Amino acid sequence: MFSLTVFDLLPSFFPFCPLQPIINGYRNKSTFSVNQSPDGNPKTVGYYLGTWRDGNIVCVPCTHLKNIPQKHSQVVQYYEVFLRQSSVEPCLLFHEGGHWCELTIQTNSQGHTMAIVTFHPQELSQEELCVHKVTLKDFFTKGPGAVCELTSLYFQESTMSRCSHQQSPYQLLFGEPHIFEDLLGLKILISPDAFFQINTAGAELLYQTIGELSVVNSSTILLDICCGMGMIALSLGQRASQVLGIELVEQAVEDARWTAAFNGIANCEFHAGRAEKILPQLLKSQKDEKLTVAVVNPSCDGLHHQVVQAIRNCRAIHTLLFVSYKPHGESTRNFIEFCCPPNSAKKLLDEPFILRQAVPVDLFPHTPHCELVLLFTQ
Ligand SMILES: C[S@@+](CC[C@H](N)C(=O)[O-])C[C@H]1O[C@@H](n2cnc3c(N)ncnc32)[C@H](O)[C@@H]1O
């Protein structure tokens, strides 16, 4: 059976494929799991091999991987030392008990390092929890882990695989609440809950590519939908007459507002909430005569149908950039909705968009993934 995906179409679209300048140790953020090693030690920190379905999951060291920087390897190594001397067990399966869970490390180009440890509280009292927090803090400030010179250490109580700050607050055990990064001439602030592209040099290349394709100028409004910390909006802000960003995670929106204010960018406005709720209202309040460029960069589950409807039915939007690291799956559904003939049953009324260009940016060297920028016009 033969089926066509957007990848099959791409070679004919590729005008160029920017390779990213740093290809080793490029990850600024990594999340490591805790589970049983192949030789049976349950206090092992690394990446999973195997599948849950086959019941053959093991945790293997990953510090030899080319995309992991030395700093991340060092913190992993010391977290494992900490776990192996801890009086309590790691949490391998939530319903089977245990406490210590994942370790996330975020670094900037100056080597400042934020570590986030997640911990399942199970039935522990507040006093018992406090003891474990102090033990962890002491290990990384006065104990063997002090050599890691962490800038900040966060602790998050977690009863499910991923919790947002709203669901379970990140508790700062010591150090600075944020780290900072320099990107395309901007000083940006990074919080533990905010999405930041995991390859800083690659992200610069991605935003430059978006800038070149979007043709934003002083008479256009730029919409940055699913904007994270607002990096697309902020890097193109000075070229546009106005920039509007929408993002689900409140901490990310606070970071975007801080970065805008710190860098003196006054024409950006960021809205916290679901794009499917905010965008239709926002577009209604805009005047149709102002040309609008929309950039969407959703998570792997793609855009909500109401976001597609709002963009497609907005007369002012003639240029759409879809940025995706997973252009198959849910995003394909979005492409079809943007490009299909008018369909009143689906409330897709205006003219269809046409795919004009597709530019991959190699944000993830040594892996099969890449970030794809698709340019559509109406
Ligand atoms: C791939 S990231 C894009 C980040 C940003 N463009 C950048 O380059 O840093 C996707 C973002 O979409 C946000 N998101 C997911 N679902 C959303 C929704 N329904 N409405 C608004 N934002 C959403 C996520 O929180 C995440 O920050």
Per-residue tens of pLDDT for the chain, all 378 residues: 344 445 544 544 455 555 556 689 999 999 999 999 999 999 999 999 998 888 888 999 988 899 999 999 999 999 999 999 999 999 988 778 899 999 999 999 999 999 999 999 999 999 999 999 999 999 999 999 999 999 999 999 998 878 888 889 999 999 999 999 999 999 999 999 889 999 999 999 999 999 999 989 999 999 999 999 999 999 999 899 999 999 999 999 999 999 999 999 999 999 999 999 999 999 988 766 678 999 999 998 999 999 999 999 998 999 999 999 988 888 999 999 999 999 999 999 889 999 999 999 999 999 988 999 999 998
- The residue whose CA is least distant from atom 13 of ligand 1 is 226
Q: Are residues 328 and 264 in the same domain?
A: yes
Residue 312's domain is classified under what CATH number?
3.40.50.150
Q: In whole angstroms, what separates CA 339 from the centre of its chain?
A: 27
130 and 203 co-located in one domain: no
CA of 148 relative to ligand 1 center, distance in Å: 31
* Number of domains present in the structure of the chain: 2
Domain final residue pick, 179, 209, 240: 179
Give 252 Cα–ligand 1 centroid separation in angstroms.
9
Nearest partner of 152 among 108, 88, 102, 89, judged by Cα: 108
Q: Is 195 in the pocket of ligand 1 (CB under 6 A)?
A: yes
User: Same domain for 219 and 71?
Assistant: no
- Angle formed by the axes of helices 305-312 and 330-339, nearest 10°: 30
Q: Please name the helix (run of DSSP H) or strand (run of DSSP E) that holds residue 58, with its range, or none.
A: strand 58-60
Is there a single domain that holds both residue 147 and residue 277? no
Residues 57 and 107 in one domain: yes
Separation CA 307–CA 113 (nearest Å) = 36
Q: Are residues 157 and 227 in the same domain?
A: no
**Start-to-end C-alpha separation, the chain:** 33
Closest residue to atom 19 of ligand 1, CA basis: 274
Residue with tokens 């008990």: 97
Ligand 1 contact, 101 CB (< 6 A): no
299 lines ligand 1 (CB under 6 A): yes
Dihedral (CA of 237, 242, 246, 252) sign: positive
Q: Does 337 map to a domain?
A: yes
Residue 301 · residue 324 · CB < 8 Å: no
Token duo for residue 183: 């990107």
> Within this chain, do residues 37 and 166 fall inside the same structural domain, yes or no?
yes
Q: What is the CATH number of the domain that holds 106?
A: 2.40.50.1070
* Residue among 295, 283, 292 nearest 212 (CA): 295
Residue of 181, 236, 247 with the most ligand 1 atoms within 8 Å of its CB, for mutation: 247
Residues 174 and 142: their CA atoms lie apart, in Å, by 12
Q: Is residue 262 part of a domain?
A: yes
| Enclosing domain of residue 146 | 29-179
CA atoms within 13 A on the CB side of 134: 6
Cα–Cα dist 261/85, whole Å: 45
ipTM of this model? 0.99
- Do both 233 and 290 map to the same domain? yes
- Token representation of residue 78: 């010391």
